[in-house]
Amino acid sequence: MKLQDYFAEKKVLVENHMKTLIDSYEDIPKISEAMNYSLMAGGKRLRPILALMTCELFEGNAEDVLPFACAIEMIHTYSLIHDDLPAMDNDDYRRGKPTSHKIFGEGFAILAGDALLNKAFEVMLEAVMKNPSEGRIKAAAYISKASGVEGMIGGQCIDLYYENREADIEILNKMHEKKTGALIKAPLIAGAFIAGAAEDDIIRIEEFGQLIGMAFQISDDILDVEGSLDKLGKNTGSDANNNKSTFVSLYGLDKSKELAKSTVEQAQNIISLYGNRGLLLKELSNYIIERDV
């Protein structure tokens, strides 16, 4: 199956499942509307699809990993809602639509993000209680850490602190390993855990995830310079406007593109061990640096 067809098929699977997870909360004003506005706004669904990919790579059942895949997308969406707030990146558009706080106000945007984060853990714990297997427990624990101060939130703290300050490449790598890379690695590892992958495979997939997470961030930095609102669905140039250090600001465009390519080649060398079974993941790594959205 081609990557484009795989994405189309799995995106429908993920979105149909997510629609079942947000209750109407009829006695609570606005919250379900605000949660669904951002969660169902579209997007690539890259993170949940990564979980499905590695689960299938190790011959696991996609239905088993689906709650964890959707939980990761909820965590990712909450982070975007909060990133877009005036106190953070102050963005007006996300996925081609006005950001949550532009529609619902800052208060409900914050609460919608909080609610999605909490719902993610409700969904994972419910799945664990139904079947408390070692793989599910490890997956939930890994996702939890990747979402917190040791992962995404820690990276966001570094990012916020270094606005209007010069960050060297060591700090930049550390920031993006946590801010972006942690939630790229987490679904890959979660899928592998739930499929019962061996420890050696977990180590390889973690290294693969680290590399494609970095390539994804370099590509994002490039797109912030070369992309457009029409294609990206969000304003470009925000990194420069917020005086943020990026791979482009440190290395320039050409070297950043070379770095993204070499990082993907390293990732592909790891996944080549799996032969034809790993072809979709290899194709995905190419997509990460060739995308224009």
Pair 198, 54: CB distance under 8 Å: no
CA distances from 127 to 43, 52, 142, 146, 189 (A): 25, 16, 15, 19, 17
Listed by start position, the domains of the chain span 3-290
How do residues 21-71 score in pLDDT, each as one tens digit? 998 898 999 999 999 999 999 889 999 999 999 999 999 999 999 999 999
- 36: Cβ–Cβ under 8 A, 6 or more apart, which residues? 22
Q: Which amino acid is at 19?
A: K
Query: For residues 70-82, b (16+ Cβ closer than 10 Å) or e, as one string?
Result: bbbbbbbbbbbbb
pLDDT at 74 over 60: yes
Burial of 28 by CB count in 10 Å (0-12 exposed, 13-18 middle, 19+ buried)? exposed
Closest CA to 187 of 14, 283, 52: 52
How do residues 253-269 score in pLDDT, each as one tens digit? 999 999 999 999 999 99
> Please, which pLDDT band fits residue 244 given cuts at 50, 70 and 90?
confident
pLDDT at 78 over 90: yes
Q: Determine the pLDDT at residue 234.
A: 53
As a whole number of angstroms, the distance between CA 135 and CA 23 comes to: 27
HSE on the CB side for 275, CA within 13 Å?
1
End-to-end CA distance of the chain: 22
Q: Determine the pLDDT at residue 236.
A: 57
pLDDT at 229 over 80: no
As a whole number of angstroms, the distance between CA 191 and CA 117 comes to: 20
Pair 210, 177: CB distance under 8 Å: yes
Query: How much of the chain, in percent, has pLDDT values that exceed 90?
Result: 82
Query: For residues 155-177, b (16+ Cβ closer than 10 Å) or e, as one string?
Result: bbebbeebeeeebeeebbeebbb
pLDDT at 230 over 70: no
Which residue would you say has higher pLDDT here, 49 or 225? 49
Q: Determine the pLDDT at residue 26.
A: 86
- 241: Cβ–Cβ under 8 A, 6 or more apart, which residues? none
Quote the DSSP letter at residue 233.
S
pLDDT at 239 over 70: no
How do residues 159-187 score in pLDDT, each as one tens digit? 999 988 888 989 999 999 999 999 999 99
To the question of domain 3-290 being in CATH 1.10.600.10, the answer is: yes
pLDDT at 114 over 60: yes
> Please, which pLDDT band fits residue 277 given cuts at 50, 70 and 90?
very high
pLDDT at 245 over 90: no
Q: Determine the pLDDT at residue 166.
A: 85
Q: Determine the pLDDT at residue 293.
A: 67
